[in-house]
Amino acid sequence: MKKRFNLTPYWLILPSVIYLALFFAWPMVQALTLSIWDGDARLQLRAEANLRSPVSDWLPRGAQIEVLQRQGNVVDPDDLGQSNLRTEVWFYIRGEGADGHTVEGWAPEARVRVRETDAAGAPTLGTIRPRIGGGDPLTAVYAGPSVVSDVVGRLEPNTMVAIEEQTILELWYRVRGERNSAVVEGWAPSRYVQVFSDNVRGRIDRGDTGELTLRYLRSMLNDRFFWPALWTTLLLMAIIIPVQFVLAIVMALIIQQQLRGNTFFLYVFAIALGVSELAVGIVWYAIFTQNGYLNSILVSLGWLASPIPYLTADTRHWIIIAIWLAEIWRATAIVMVIVVAGLQAISHEILEAADLFGANLWKRVRYIILPMLKPSLQVALILRTILALQVFAVVIALSGGDVVTVLANEAYRQYYTLRNVNVAAAYAALILMLSMFSAVIYLRTVRSHEEMQE
């Protein structure tokens, strides 16, 4: 009889898959995309002044342009709030022409002076404005709200007209610019173009299509804080993680020794788990500040003649030491909990057999406990390395983020202070890549005996 396929395990892991997709995979893809994708790098030029017209060419953002012609086009009301969008209003009017016939059609607001409005503020009556200077004194009336429409009549200055409708048009510019030493022309909506005060010259303010770019990665690498932040992050990882693992294993062994009051030790060791990272930074700032607890104790004992300023630009090494101590106190308990769980999985019979064969504590730890703890240590290493790469609040509390900086702080500075989302994403992507690279290294090097045989 054919065995029935069981879907139950797949339904059980489905929530985990959804969680990973929403809160890990999607943010990861977004960060990577923002770091290498310039979403408004190019402005597509159209053959005619409307978005449905085919693309004739394109210009890069920041390109200098010459304005050759202007034309209005109907704009979606939802787009009216966009920056740089320039509009003009057209009225549908009806009035008596010079020949006594009724003329009705569209005229720009600049040619009509509004005289009356209804209760809602909409114009209902107006007069044709006189044309100042030379040229045709008559005002052309068009079949549509555009100067390229057919002229249906002309009205004399000061003619009374009824205003029956109005529409808002977005200005389009026929522009000429250079790309790779080649001259290109086409129509562009005003929302993407900055026209200078002479109304002849301008520049492409932003584009409507994107392109792959290494500009943000180069900006990150050329940032004067990048290399100090990377060096400090790696230094903290190198001096924090080994000490934490030694302390965590010692703490876990103490808890596992079945001593009287070992539960008390567990509670004391786990206190730091209930304290936030920022609170830890503030506590250790209170210890290391010039008028803090450390100086007060040393001065009262007579070991110092006067307080020492630890957290200054001239004592950067003391800031590193303060961060090191704060991070060890804060996060060692996380590793300890994982190690305790791993120790509880080791059979007591194995340890008792080692004791019967004369193995002392050091040999039991070296040859039995540590090899059997490799899966737990692997998990703890990956988790702690990821957290070390993300260290942020403690650094801010102890150094302000200027004297000593880390990668997470630079990502925050680019995003919040400099409003440079793409460079911030490049920093975040670097942290992600370092985390993934470290995880792969740990998975390959810290393996159990069974995994190595496979």
* β-strand partners of 102: 96
Q: What is the share, in percent, of the chain residues with pLDDT greater than 90? A: 41
User: Residue 291 burial by CB count (10 A; 0-12/13-18/19+): exposed, middle or buried?
Assistant: exposed
pLDDT tens digits along 411-439: 999 999 999 999 999 999 999 899 989 88
266-278 per-position pLDDT tens digit: 788 888 888 888 8
Q: Compute CA distances 5 → 8, 9, 75, 79, whole Å.
A: 9, 11, 57, 54
What is the distance, to the nearest Å, from the Cα of residue 114 to the centroid of all Cα atoms in its chain?
A: 48
Mean pLDDT of 9-32: 83
Looking at residue 155, its pLDDT comes to 93
Tell me 204's DSSP state: E
Tokens, residue 25: 């995979």
What is the structure's pLDDT at 357?
73
Spatial separation of the C-alpha atoms in residues 183 and 436, rounded to whole Å: 46
CA distance 291 to 253: 38
DSSP class of 35: H
Q: How far apart are CA 154 and CA 142, in angstroms?
A: 9
152-191: pLDDT as tens digits: 999 999 999 999 999 988 889 999 999 988 999 999 999 8
Which has more pLDDT, 380 or 358?
380
**Hey, CA dihedral for 407, 409, 413, 415, is it positive or negative?**
positive
Q: What is the CATH number of domain 219-453?
A: 1.10.3720.10
All structural domains of the chain with their residue ranges? 42-208, 219-453
Burial of 324 (0-12, 13-18, 19+ CB in 10 A): middle
Average pLDDT, the chain: 87
Please check the confidence at residue 74 and state whether its pLDDT lies above 70.
Answer: yes
Helix/strand/coil percent split, the chain, to 5:
50, 25, 25
Query: Does residue 292 surpass a pLDDT of 90?
Result: no
pLDDT in tens, 216-260: 999 999 999 999 999 999 999 999 999 999 999 888 888 877 777
The amino acid sitting at 314 is D
pTM above 0.85, yes or no: no
In the numeric block, the tokens 């109907």 are attached to 74
For residue range 192-201, list pLDDT tens digits in order: 999 998 889 9
Phi, psi at 446, each rounded to 5°: -95, 85
What confidence tens digit (pLDDT) does each residue in 331-357 have? Answer: 888 988 888 888 888 877 777 787 777
How many C-beta atoms surround the C-beta of residue 348 within 10 A? 8
Query: What confidence tier does 44 reach under pLDDT thresholds 50, 70, 90?
Result: very high
